Structure 1
Amino acid sequence: MSAIDWIHSFDRFDGKGGIKPGLERMVAMLDRLGRPHDALRFVHVAGTNGKGSTCSYLASMLQTAGYKVGLYTSPYLIQFHDRMTVGGVNISDADLADIVGQLRPVVEEVAATEAGRPTEFEVLSVVSIMHYARQEVDVVVWETGLGGRLDSTNVVTPLLSLITNVGMDHQAILGDTIEQIAAEKAGIIKPGVPVLTTAWGKALEVIAQTADENGSELLQFDRDFSAERTAFGWDGQTFDWQGPGVAFGGLQIKMLGQHQIFNASLAVAACVKLRELGIEVSEESMRAGLMNTVWAGRLEVVAQSPLTVLDGAHNPEGAQALGAALQELMPERKAVLIVGVMADKAIPEVLAPLLPLASQVIVTRADMPRSASVETLAQMIHGLDPELPVALSQSVEEAFRLARERVQGTDETIVCTGSLYMISEARALFFH
């Protein structure tokens, strides 16, 4: 059995199957390995949307400043190895196999205890910690998988805790109110560790209260740091940033949409705070790092003729952000919309912000059991907009073939959105 097959042999945590959230298995594995995470410095990032982009901006700026950076993200979009990189380089097959060889007896030992058999994500998180410890990285940019309080990644005490926005997602596991979900995200806050956030409203209130209870300094967007967008287009965006005692004008990013200004702003605020902790990142490194940041599947232009955009908007807030960005970028144009969503998502709420921008919709599904059926998606679209033409396709590849046929002779854009698993399949059609 290959290292990847072995990792995939563990159960996923999906709120079902009797798998209980908790850190017992993580602690048990890491204790037996000599607690390698204690020798590493982390920046821990939680939130509903924008975690991956924020992590990517931050890792890029730190790498540009000369640091050896570990980046842990999920899910992967191109290949399995993407989720754990050092200096932008994926873990190798040889390193993965070697680490798994060391970890397997530890996992078997823990599985035989009351803690029980680890989940797939727990195993992945330990593998990544072992990889970063072996590589002796300077900083790990460490993204939560789901939630925060009981997430596998929450075994570390970071230099900083970052929380992006908080919205309605994974309600079956995290709770069905913003306050409950925010409390889970705020679970990454550690005593005395500074917290930076772009959350707002009721979520911000929960985060602020948790920070106060932990004696942690709170830096919040629009109070302690802010950003103002000064230009945007299909080639990128420019913004001015202001924080405590420091300001940067004309920062540039390639990633699209107003929401990316928030993500980049949070990453800049983290760099400024890290400077106070002795991790020096110059203004030049920040500028170059931001400009060089790319993050697959986030309003990503993958073809020009016809203009084709991929975006993994898999929850209501993500769909709203995508809808707002498309309205800005193509106010006079309609889109042929390719949509595929996981069955456990709030599907009508994901569809609603996007359907007004579409001339027609092609529903499809990722090649995995959790995908909603195309018939279900088509029925929901008809319920939201009975007049909107809908075509059904059982594969992502066929969906794109249909979309290209539909846009011929028009100035319409192809927009593919929904599940990140589907976006992964779509990217494979453009990048080999």
Structure 2
Amino acid sequence: MRYMATYDLMETLRNTNAWLGATARTMASYPAFSLMTNPGLQWMAAWGEVTERTFERMVVKPDWGIRTLTCEDGKDHLVSIDTVVEKPFGDLLHFNVQEREEQPRKILLVAPMSGHYATLLRSTVKSLMVNCEVYVTDWHNARDIPVSAGKFDVEDYTLYLVDFMRHLGPDTHVIAVCQPAPLTLAATAYLAGEDPDAQPRSLTLIGGPIDPNANATEVTDFGHRVTMGQLEETMIQRVGFKYPGVGRMVYPGLLQLASFVSMNLDRHSKAFQEQILKVSKGQASDHDAHNRFYDEYLAVMDMPAEFYLSTVERIFKDGEIARNAFTVEGKPVDIGKITKVAVKTVEGANDDISAPGQCIAALDLCTGLPDSMKASHVEPGAGHYGIFAGKSWRNNIRPLVLDFIDQNSGATRKATDGNPAKAGAKTAAKAANSNVA
């Protein structure tokens, strides 16, 4: 019961802070107080507004917010988000651009299960949708999954990816962002051994810890520093009575958020102080840069305890993927059996989460793959977020990834000009900067 009590205590603290913020904002905004000018009341209302929004966003799943897309024909097309595969711990979504011809590039974008929702890849999805059929793994919040659904660890995660790849077929190009990179590599190797005809055509791994020991970071140091017993005792809690997953053992999203914030505490503190000042001066808006970023950043999800613990133990501590010693349901997964899937790695020179060297280790593990089907790229000046979102992704990395996909695609490309990758990049940049209804 103490695990459940701790979970409910954290939720109580979050609720209390949200209530304090709402109370301060409401009290300081009484019309009677406007009879006298009081900067203290203005600051109090601003503090309440920012505080309330901050703590309320922590339990809200963000919306994709992709309703229309400006395509290469210059017209705005409606976008429907269809669930094509539905599973207890995650769905496969298709971003269907209506009244547009099916695009020859079919991309499976594997989103991380690392504390944030798949919507963290919103800008990545928008940039690819311009001239690709985009499918995304949408992982569920463990607090909303009943205990009757069973466990979910790294092997189950791998098998989910295997099922998604089988559903999409062999003409798929897979892009894995950050955390899922090693397990996506394992899923591809699993298919190579069990169902070769279902393998995707290409695999792009972006900033993932294939070999966490290749270049140590604060994340990898933490993984080696603590014991599994310490992690289970301090990080794992049982979902409280408020949610459908009551009784499920999880690694709470609020704990993960505390870890994220502590890594750059000064920067986040300064950002919130500046936002309170802007609100008090009437210079902030509902969708300004601060709110757009933190509405997504603060929205966190619980992870199944067995997934979190097995990731730390098997990927980081034991290095099963790095040693090519990973197993699924007792069957060895030999990465060397990948012989037909082109593999590309992308790293950021300034990545402090998955440092350069960790991801490119995948190419050495693909011993059965010719060098002509391997590629790598290190983006100068890019941090972890920059290699899959922002200018570095749109202007530099995305064109390289699409060019790699085209080089390893069996489908006949419909050229828009001499270079379809560059043409797509220009249109994608235009679409990403346009207003989405």
Asked if these proteins are the same fold (TM beyond 0.5), I'd say: no
Q: Give the structure-1-normalised TM-score.
A: 0.29
Q: Which has the higher contact order (CA 8 A, sep 6+)?
A: 2
* Larger Rg, first or second structure (1 or 2): 2
